Amino acid sequence: MIPTIDIFKCNGCEICVRACPPQVIGMVQNVAVILTDLCEECGICNDVCPIDAVDFKLPHYQPYEVHEAYRPVR
């Protein structure tokens, strides 16, 4: 699951920044941002956020690889 921060809810308290073990959360214009490519997806940022500004969403990709050899029967 990929953590995201709702920029409209974030109040800039920096609690998630201090709690992040790999230190991939930072502040940009008093709003927390996550480097999702480096995130370990531990969920600590979601647990410590006092205003529920951090959310986890499933990645948008197909769970199974699509092969040309397998075509739907019509």
DSSP characters for 24-52? -EEEETTEEEE-TTT-----HHHHH-TT-
pLDDT > 70: percent of the chain = 76
Global confidence as pTM: 0.71
Contact criterion met (CB below 8 Å) for 65 and 39? no
**pLDDT at residue 60 greater than cutoff 80:** no
What pLDDT shows up at residue 64? 62
CA distance readout (Å), 7 to 11, 17, 30, 66: 8, 14, 10, 35
Where is pLDDT greater, at 10 or 2?
A: 10
Query: What domains sit in the chain, N to C, each tagged with a CATH number?
Result: 2-57 (3.30.70.20)
Across the range 10-17, mean pLDDT stands at 96
Task: Report the mean per-residue pLDDT for the chain.
Answer: 86
